[in-house]
């Protein structure tokens, strides 16, 4: 009896040590981010206050004011009167005002997303300590941009995340597969994907499919580590059914790339739907989602990280896709 109690105590102690070690190795502090709600300020202007309010935006929102005016709204006139008139024309437009009201209602409480972004950038700060941490500015830009980066900061166009059934996307003529992407739950993955591109896109050194697969795989591995609690299908922005399909058909997808002699092809037209949003991956069953190469890349990178002793920052700087494939030992089986 004493031996049994001793054995159970030792076993319990062992598991406690393992759990504490796991928690310690996966702990990253939440960072405090500055969040700015530019859209609220923008749509508070009227003919009486537009000069007074807009003249404070450079101070209150930094360089975002210029980015918003010149790049998002594409208002280039240096004439102040034309600038004020342009702001009023945009904010007083009936359709824009209605769309803004819908956006303001859906995102009246942004605290859950703020919290999750602070967790994500806590992970980022721990993994990439020499890189900057952004401030985040939300905006309404007339459906022009979803997520943008500027001066090491992030802007989120909230009107692009109203939900796949929003009437505005139907008015704009967006196809079903694109409307699916415009859900609030995809803000996190969009932000971290854009942040990845801001700093690591330069390490994509070739245009062949294999290089793209490795690069997109690094992106998805990055998202997986920055957003550990997010559902896998939300990281890929797949439906549950699409996620299940790629998981069950991984070997067949890889086999298709090889049999069709696509791995080293630089003819983008041959594999565009594997890398971009599309109703389905061209040449595969209709169940195969666009961006299917992101999943293959993720699996390849995951295997590489299991078989090579490097950290995630070192992973970002690898550029030889053929060597990467070899060292990953990636060989999916049916």
Domain limits for position 306: 204-328
- From CA 221, how far away is CA 300, in angstroms rounded? 10
Residue 239: per-residue pLDDT: 97
User: Which residue has tokens 């500055």?
Assistant: 34
Tell whether 11 is covered by a domain.
no
Same domain, yes or no, for 291 and 179? Answer: no
Put the strands of the sheet holding 147-150 in their side by side order: 35-37, 136-139, 153-157, 147-150
Looking at the 3D structure of the chain, how many domains does it have? 2
Q: CA-CA distance, 266 to 178, in Å (whole number)?
A: 26
- Are 118 and 223 within one domain? no
Which helix (H) or strand (E) segment holds residue 35: the answer is strand 35-37
Indicate the residue among 198, 218, 233 that finishes a domain: 198
Same domain, 184 and 56: yes
Of 152, 168, 198, which closes a domain?
A: 198
| Assigned domain for 192 exists | yes
Give me 116's structure tokens. 């999750």
74 domain-assigned: yes
One domain, residues 101 and 169? yes
Three-class DSSP labels, 161-173: CCCCCCHHHHHCC
pTM: 0.89
122 plus 252 within the same structural domain: no
Give a yes or no: residue 1 inside a domain.
no
147 Rama sector, left if φ>0, alpha if ψ -120 to 50, beta otherwise: beta
* Cα-based distances in Å from 69 to 9, 75, 87, 141, 225: 66, 5, 9, 10, 35
Per-residue pLDDT tens digits of the chain, which is 334 residues long? 545 544 445 455 545 444 444 444 445 689 999 999 999 999 999 999 999 999 999 999 999 999 999 999 998 777 899 999 999 999 999 999 999 999 999 999 999 999 999 999 999 999 999 999 999 999 999 999 999 999 999 999 999 999 999 999 999 999 999 999 999 999 999 999 999 999 999 999 899 999 999 999 999 999 999 999 999 999 999 999 999 999 999 999 999 999 999 999 999 999 999 999 999 999 999 999 999 999 999 999 999 999 999 999 999 999 999 999 999 999 998 7
210 within 8 A of 222, measured Cβ to Cβ: no
Q: Are residues 44 and 190 in the same domain?
A: yes
Alpha carbon distance 192, 154 (integer Å) = 10
| Residue 79 confidence (pLDDT) | 87
Residues 138 and 275 placed together within one structural domain of the fold = no
- 119: Cβ–Cβ under 8 A, 6 or more apart, which residues? 28, 30, 229
Same domain, 179 and 42: yes
């Amino acid at each position: 009896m004493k031996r049994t109690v001793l054995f159970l105590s030792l076993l319990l102690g062992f598991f406690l040590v393992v759990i504490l070690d796991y928690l310690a190795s996966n702990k990253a502090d939440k960072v405090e981010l500055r969040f700015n709600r530019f859209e609220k300020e923008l749509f508070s202007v009227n003919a009486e206050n537009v000069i007074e309010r807009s003249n404070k935006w450079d101070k209150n929102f930094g360089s975002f004011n210029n980015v918003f005016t010149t790049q998002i709204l594409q208002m280039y006139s240096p004439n102040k009167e034309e600038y004020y008139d342009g702001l009023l024309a945009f904010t007083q437009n009936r359709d824009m005002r209605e769309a803004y009201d819908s956006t303001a209602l859906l995102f009246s409480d942004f605290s859950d997303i703020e919290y999750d972004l602070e967790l994500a950038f806590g992970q980022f700060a721990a993994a990439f300590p020499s890189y900057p941490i952004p401030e985040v500015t939300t905006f309404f830009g007339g459906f022009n941009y979803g997520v943008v980066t500027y001066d090491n900061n992030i802007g989120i166009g909230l009107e692009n995340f109203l939900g796949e059934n929003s009437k505005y996307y139907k008015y704009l003529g967006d196809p079903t597969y694109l409307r699916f992407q415009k859900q609030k739950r995809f803000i996190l993955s969009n932000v971290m994907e854009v942040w990845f591109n801001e700093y690591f896109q330069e390490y994509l050194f070739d245009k062949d499919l294999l290089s793209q697969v490795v690069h997109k795989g690094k992106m998805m591995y990055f998202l997986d580590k920055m957003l550990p609690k997010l559902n896998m299908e939300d990281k890929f922005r797949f439906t549950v059914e699409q996620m299940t399909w790629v998981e069950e058909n991984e070997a067949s997808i890889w086999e298709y790339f090889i049999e069709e002699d696509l791995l080293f092809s630089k003819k983008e037209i041959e594999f565009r739907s594997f890398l971009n949003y599309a109703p389905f991956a061209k040449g595969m069953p209709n169940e195969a989602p666009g961006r299917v190469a992101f999943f293959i890349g993720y699996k390849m990178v995951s295997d590489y990280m299991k078989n090579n002793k490097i950290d995630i920052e070192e992973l970002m700087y690898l550029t030889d896709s053929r060597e990467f494939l070899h060292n990953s030992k990636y060989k999916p089986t049916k």
